[in-house]
Amino acid sequence: MKKNVTAKIQGGQIPKGKVRVSGAKNASTRLLAAALIADETVILTNFPTELVDAQYKIDFIRKNGGNVSVDVASETVEIDAKLLDNRSLDSYDFPIRTTYLLVPGLIKRSGVARIPYPGGCKIGDRGYDLHLMVWRTLGAEVEEKPEYIEVRAPKGFRSGEINFPISTIGGTENALISASIIPEATIIKNAYISPEIESLIAFLRTLGVKIEVVGNSFIKVEGSNYLRGSLFQVMPDRIEAITWIVYGIISGGNITVEDVPFDTMEIPLIHLQHAGIDLYRNAKNVIVSPECLVNGRIQPFELACGTHPGIISDMQPFYTLLGLHADGISRIFDYRYPERLKYCEELNKFYDGALSCKPGAITINGGKPARPSEANSTDLRGSMAVVIAALLSNGQSTIHNIEMALRGYNNLEHKLSDLGIHIEVEEAVTA
């Protein structure tokens, strides 16, 4: 796997062409883990096969006996978990943020699971205590060892009532998959139901799991000892879609963004309208060009990031970029992840201190042109914002650790190339 990748980026390139939104990162990697509880073969289509996070998870599954076949051309992944087993690995150094979702499949097959500690973005405190709570509520013993977390449930999980103290996407995903291998009813309270969670619920139902959702926070799950296989399509990535749309707006390019999941993006797109942007669209695609700016300028705005259906925190960096190119002062508030500010320090290198930040609040002085700089990648989406800033500058920039952006976007270099954008990626160290 690539590490310490550096990119040389020549600014001033104007994107032109078509780009198709891939299957959602935050859906596909969860579905891949959920497929491990099936007793028959699972086929996932529209799968982002080049996604680095997915490749790490597939590697872990294979090393534990699971059979995963990947067809890059058709963007299809086939999972057969019948031989999955809890094996002692030489190393548990897997940078997978959602390692906890691998537990139910291993518990079902062998009654014990050893998983790497969750890795991923450094965007503030993202502990895993709620996952320990889920497993313990379902009757498992959990031990935190130096190299891995060990979960033991020799007779399998047992039903229970999981009541989250805060709404949590990862906790809800973990509870859903874990409850699906229990033949009795399990109750999940204060769940967080996002489009990706709705997709996971739909998938689990195709396996034969009975799931009842009441409102937007109560879930009742009745699993089964035997779960059938499935053919399931991964939903398009709403975060990738907003990335390309904003890039098209602020670059002055002409981009057709295909397979946009409009049904999951209503409020984010309304905020673009409020910024004076009128997008031309049909049922699945959107055309972004300079004509989208109603009076030729992006209007300043204020918005707050939060839970779906609003603007989620993963979209925040792209609205920050939008504000940097707006005609005035914009403000963004995020009290869910108030420490998500590291990427702002990097963007300030391109925009001459245009961002003023404090926990939970970003003030953006729009209108300063981007200048070339040397910057570092931070979290997945923030790193892509830094790449876009470099593309908008008037010279050559250097971005270190660009693998962070590669983790979040499927086949990123190829998609940029299709838009006429070329970046020079230096040879990486292979781990």
> How does pLDDT run across 233-245, given as a tens digit for each residue?
999 999 999 999 9
SS3 content of the chain, % helix, strand, coil (to 5): 35, 25, 40
Q: Where are the CATH 3.65.10.10 domain residues in the chain?
A: 2-21+236-430, 25-233
Q: Specify the pLDDT at position 127.
A: 67
Rg (CA), the chain: 22
Q: Specify the pLDDT at position 93.
A: 85
* Residue-wise burial string across 358-374, b where 16 or more C-beta atoms lie within 10 A, e elsewhere: eebebebbbbeebbbbe
φ/ψ of 45, rounded to 5, equals -100, 165
**DSSP structure class, residue 351:** T
Contact indicator for 401, 377 with CB cutoff of 8 Å: yes
The per-residue DSSP string of 287-340 comes to EE-GGGBTTSSBPP-EEEE-STTSB-GGGHHHHHHHHHTBSSEEEEEESSSTTT
Low pLDDT (below 70) residues in the chain: 1-2, 120-127, 427-431
Could you tell me which of 382, 430, 389, 426 has the C-alpha nearest to residue 407?
382
Contact indicator for 180, 207 with CB cutoff of 8 Å: yes
Q: Specify the pLDDT at position 3.
A: 73
Could you tell me which of 277, 267, 331, 270 has the C-alpha nearest to residue 299?
277
Q: Specify the pLDDT at position 339.
A: 92
Q: Specify the pLDDT at position 126.
A: 44
Q: H or E segment at 405?
A: helix 403-408
The per-residue DSSP string of 191-222 comes to ----HHHHHHHHHHHHHT-EEEEETTTEEEEE
Decide yes or no: CATH 3.40.50.720 for domain 2-21+236-430: no
**372 is written with which tokens?**
């070339």
**153 is written with which tokens?**
């449930």
Q: Specify the pLDDT at position 94.
A: 85
Distance of CA 51 to the CA centre of its chain: 10
Contact indicator for 305, 273 with CB cutoff of 8 Å: no
Q: Specify the pLDDT at position 125.
A: 42
**419 is written with which tokens?**
């838009």
Classify the C-alpha dihedral 72-73-79-85 as positive or negative: negative
> How does pLDDT run across 169-192, given as a tens digit for each residue?
999 999 999 999 999 999 999 999
Distance CA 296, CA 298 (A): 7
CATH label, 25-233, candidates 3.40.190.10, 2.60.200.20, 3.40.50.2300, 3.65.10.10: 3.65.10.10
Q: Specify the pLDDT at position 124.
A: 41
